Amino acid sequence: MFIIYLIVYFGFVGINSVKPTLMGTGIGGLNLAVVYGMGLTVLALVMAMIYTHLCSIEETMHGETIEKGSK
C-alpha cells in the first residue's frame, strides 16, 4: 500500500515540478492542485481503513490460534 501511495504522491510532485501551470486547470470550480491534494488525503484515509481491517482479521486469527493451543 505504501508503494501505491508513493506513486500517486510522486505523480502530484511530478506535475508540480514539470508542468506547474497544469495544477491551475479548473475541475468543477476547483483547481487540479486542490482536487489532487484532497484525493491524496482521501486515499490515505481509505488505505488506513483497509490496513486496520486487515490487521484486525490477522489479530483475530492469531487470537484463535493462541486459544486453541492453550486448551
Query: DSSP string covering 30-68, please?
Result: EEHHHHHHHHHHHHHHHHHHHHHHHHHHHHHHHHHHHHH
Which cell numbers hold the place of 57?
482479521
The per-residue pLDDT for 59 is: 81
How far is the C-alpha of 32 from the C-alpha of 3, rounded, in Å?
Answer: 23
Domain boundaries, the chain: 2-70
pLDDT tens column, 7-53: 999 999 999 999 999 999 999 899 999 999 999 999 999 999 999 99
pTM: 0.77
The letter for the amino acid at 27 is: I
How far is the C-alpha of 3 from the C-alpha of 69, rounded, in Å?
Answer: 36
The per-residue pLDDT for 30 is: 94
